[in-house]
Amino acid sequence: MSDDATTTKSYFTPFNIIAGIIVIIGLFITALRFTKGLGAVTNLSDYNPWGIWIGFDLLVGVALAAGGYVTSAAVYIFGMKRYHSAVRPAILTGFLGYALVVAALNYDVGRPWRLPYPFIVQQGTTSLLFEVAACVALYLTVLFIEFSPAAMEWLGLKRARSVVVKLTLLLTIFGVILSTLHQSSLGALFLIAPAKLHPLWYSPYLPVFFFVSSIIAGLSMVIFESTLSHRYFAAKMDEAHKKEKDTVTLGFGKAASLVLSGYFIIKVIGISEGNHWHLLGTSYGLWFLVEIFGFVALPCFLFAIGVREKKLNLIKWTAVWTVLGIIVNRFNICLVAFNWHLPSSERYFPHWMEIGISVFLVTVGLIVYRFIVTRMPILYAHPDYPEEH
């Protein structure tokens, strides 16, 4: 078989075919969105101005991208060097996650060209949205700089790389501060809607809930991403990354179990503070119990068992379940339990094109991640800098 035939065949993989179809459909919907407006591709209304683009692309996206600050803080602030191999993949995942969040906001904002207005025209510094926008923009910049050494090694920019590496600790501290601010502020956004959000999900502790659950999401995503990378990109890994795989899984699984236990406790405190025990017998209450016991208490227990018995597969599957739990929680707050008093005919359900755009953005993220991982030193130490890995 000729080289051209081999190259042509390699392009027609199941991933490339499916991803190509999704991208084509996504570009078509994008064209409709920016030529026909929000009404042509969404089911949004004055009663439901925030749909799946906010619930999934923003609230879920920001939470699942938290692995960057969680991992870098563990390694560079708390000195857990045994997890160093997980830093660059986590930073890359976080950077792409936040980049896609900003891209998704351009779809959701009615006039996307006015996205930077809060910074340059109308300084609404007393608004939580301004704080979220400022922190996300700054943290995206921090993640780009933290990721840049890998790109500089690939491009051979040694001098520029050495300057950025010296800023690692400062960037990590700044990133943790920014993440603490905007992760909690996303929860604080819903404090202004006590009449719209169901009492079981509404709580003055919402900022704390969002921040703590972002740590859980970050830890679980690192395990999940590590599992997929070792399965599909093992050829790109060096021995250090392969050897530290189990260490990362066990360590982050243990941390996830501890944080989940704390999260369960403060969620119960939230119910007690509002004295909403009587609502647990309602249909919404039963679904709330499913979230608390099925997606918080259960993975907490499974993580603990997995770490104690060193059952790595149990930890990995529990991480997947926990990620799903974070998605359920954000959807509950933004969609399911929001405007809960409205009749079903007026409740929001996403248009298929809204879902299509979300799938399109996730697919773009996967394509870019694969492009970077297969070319840059993300899963291996660059031979010119062995002493720094």
Distance CA(243)–CA(291), nearest Å, equals 35
pLDDT given for residue 122 in this prediction: 64
Q: Does residue 259 belong to any structural domain of this protein?
A: yes
- How remote is the C-alpha of 334 from its chain's centroid? 16
Q: How far is CA 130 from CA 42, 60, 274, 374, in A?
A: 25, 19, 29, 37
- Is a pLDDT exceeding 50 seen at residue 182? yes
Identify the H or E element spanning 141: helix 128-155
pLDDT at residue 292, as a whole number: 96
User: 194: which 2 tokens?
Assistant: 């006590």
Measured distance CA(358)–CA(373) in Å, rounded:
23
**Least confident residue range of 85-89, 122-126, 210-214, 280-284:** 122-126
In contact, 337 and 284? CB cutoff 8 Å: yes
For residue 282, the enclosing domain spans: 18-378
Question: Quick check: is 310 in a domain?
Answer: yes
**What pLDDT is attached to residue 6?**
42
- Alpha-carbon distance of 292 to 263, in angstroms, equals 10
In terms of pLDDT, which residue wins out, 126 or 270?
A: 270
% of the chain surpassing 70 pLDDT: 95
Report how far residue 96's alpha carbon sits from residue 302's, in angstroms, rounded to the nearest whole number.
29
Identify the DSSP state of 5: H
pLDDT tens, 282-315?
999 999 999 999 999 999 999 999 999 999 999 9
**How many domains does the structure of the chain reveal?**
1
Task: Judge whether 2 lies within some domain.
Answer: no
**Would you say residue 388 lies in a domain?**
no
For residue 204, which amino acid is it? P
Is the residue at 8 inside a domain?
Answer: no
> Alpha helices, DSSP H only, in 275-311?
283-289, 298-309
Tokens of 169: 């600790």
φ, ψ at 204 (rounded to 5°): -65, -10
Query: Per the domain annotation, does 122 fall within a domain?
Result: yes
Give the N- to C-terminal CA distance of the chain in Å, as an integer. Answer: 41
Alpha carbon distance 13, 37 (integer Å):
35
**Structural domain contains residue 9:** no
- Establish how many alpha carbons lie within 13 A of residue 118's alpha carbon, considering only the half-sphere containing its beta carbon: 15
What's the alpha-carbon Rg for the chain, to the nearest Å? 22
- The whole-number pLDDT of residue 240 equals 79
Q: What is the mean pLDDT of the chain?
A: 90
In whole angstroms, how far apart are CA 157 and each of 32, 160, 163?
41, 6, 10
Contact 118, 133 (CB under 8 A): yes
Per-residue model confidence as pLDDT tens digits over 306-318: 999 999 999 999 9
User: What pLDDT does residue 367 have?
Assistant: 95
Smallest CA-to-CA distance from 231 within 214, 216, 249 is with: 249
Local confidence band at 376 (pLDDT 50, 70, 90 cut-offs) = very high
Torsion angle (degrees, nearest 10) of CA 112, 115, 120, 122: 100
CATH number, domain containing residue 154: 1.20.1630.10
Tokens of 241: 């990354």
Output b/e per residue, 323-337; b: 16+ Cβ within 10 A: bebbbbbbbbbbbbb
And the tokens for 228?
């997929």
**Chain-centre distance of CA 31, in angstroms?**
26
Residues 57-112 pLDDT 10s: 999 999 999 999 999 999 999 989 899 889 999 999 999 999 999 999 889 887 77
pLDDT computed for residue 336 by the predictor = 92
Task: Establish if 246 belongs to a structural domain.
Answer: yes
pTM of structure: 0.91
- How confident is the model over 223-240, as a mean pLDDT? 89
Widest CA span in the chain: 73
